[in-house]
Amino acid sequence: MKRKRLFLLLASTCLVLVLAVSPFMAACAKPAVETGAAEIAALEKEIAKLEAAAPEPAEVYNWKLQVSWPAVTADKRFTPFVEHVKAMSGGRININLHYANELVPNADVAYAIKDRIMELGHTWPKYYGSDIAIGYFLNGLTFAWQTPQQAAILLNKPEILEMAREAFAELGSYYLGPVLVTPAKLVSTKPVRSLEDWRPLITRATATSAKIVESLGISSSPLPSGEIYSAYQKGMIDASLMGAAMYGVDMGYFEVAKYMVDNIPFSSPAVSTVLINLDIWNSLPEDLQQSLTTAVVELSWYISNMVEEGELLAREVARDEMGVEFTLMNEKDLAVVYEAGIKFWDEAAAQSLRAAKAVEMLKDWNRTLGYMK
């Protein structure tokens, strides 16, 4: 009985204490809840600020690029460029290669870029000489330079680049820079050691080269590069000014044309370019613009070095495995060919103020190198 009363007393005491403390606990708990809510609100405000300041996800560009060569050459020369641009852009620029005449005829690449049939294009400035006269100069006037290094120094001068970019802007494109390729030599189905040997041969040549050939009394044909092999086979042409030994091996020309004249370097080297749609170029962030221009400079030297090494190997294959004979034109007729080529410098200069300035720079450059007086 005594133990039961003691238990009730303890229970009553605990109840009194709980009831007494409850108001105090409630009073203390209220500020804590208010403080926690205030902290959460402050954190949410900071998060909102950070979200507002965070950059938008980087835009990814998926572009088409038509190269002026067939697949066998285009893949070899441009696949590293595509990979390099993707790496330099952090994966923001993806380029899909298309081959010669696949999307549009090679001579229409700049116009197709303006119309956004493709975003980028590898092409030859001479194709647009009727629209922008400096195009002939940028492609390489006949005998304009003797080495890739000479061409690179001249064509990358700021004044030349500025004129080139102004000119191509008129066609809706941005000129990314010169791409040095290969010397254009005469490959023929019959040996050529004189103008007399050459004159009966229908020769594939384009732009200024065609004019020079015709001024020498030789018939020319402006076939696209992709049709040269079949034209040889069908007897439509007997000779072509298109690349040198490496072209003859890679594209199979030496299967049907067994002679190459070694000492008529119509262009050493020929010079192509990569264009991009002007509006797209202007919309790109500066770092991507820099990536593209750098990649084109490196592409130019990559191809130039590949050609130099490839020429040595190709000559061995052509001579030893394909039965090709390398001939030389006699010095007297070679001088006639050279003079015929130089005459067209002034004709090119007369077409526009830009072309005139560029040709005068070319003449000064050749005087500096001792090729002209």
DSSP of 34-51, one letter per residue?
HHHHHHHHHHHHHHHHHH
Number of domains in the chain: 1
- Statement: residue 22 has pLDDT above 70: no
Q: 120 lies in a domain?
A: yes
Q: 212 lies in a domain?
A: no
Helices 71-88, 286-321: crossing angle, 10 deg rounding: 150
Q: Residue 160 is part of a domain; what is its CATH number?
A: 3.40.190.170
Q: 244 lies in a domain?
A: no
> Range with the lowest mean pLDDT among 10-24, 44-58, 94-108, 295-309?
10-24
Average pLDDT, the chain: 87
The pLDDT, as a whole number, for residue 51 is 59
What type of residue is 289?
Q
- Residue holding tokens 């020369």? 77
Calculate ∠ Cα 76-260-362, nearest 5°: 75
Cα separation of the two ends of the chain = 137
pLDDT digits (tens, 9 = 90+) for 49-88: 665 665 567 899 999 999 999 898 899 999 999 999 999 9
Q: 190 lies in a domain?
A: no
Secondary structure (3-state) at 344? helix
Nearest-angstrom CA–CA distance, 75 and 122: 13
Secondary structure (3-state) at 323? coil
What type of residue is 83?
E
Range of the domain at 309: 61-180+271-320
Q: 39 lies in a domain?
A: no
- pTM comes to 0.74
Share of the chain above pLDDT 90, in %: 66
The 3-class secondary structure across 289-314, one letter per residue, is HHHHHHHHHHHHHHHHHHHHHHHHHH
Q: 201 lies in a domain?
A: no
Secondary structure letter of residue 267 according to DSSP:
B
Q: 145 lies in a domain?
A: yes
Helices 158-169, 148-155: crossing angle, 10 deg rounding: 70
* Residue 118 contacts residue 98 (beta carbons within 8 Å): yes
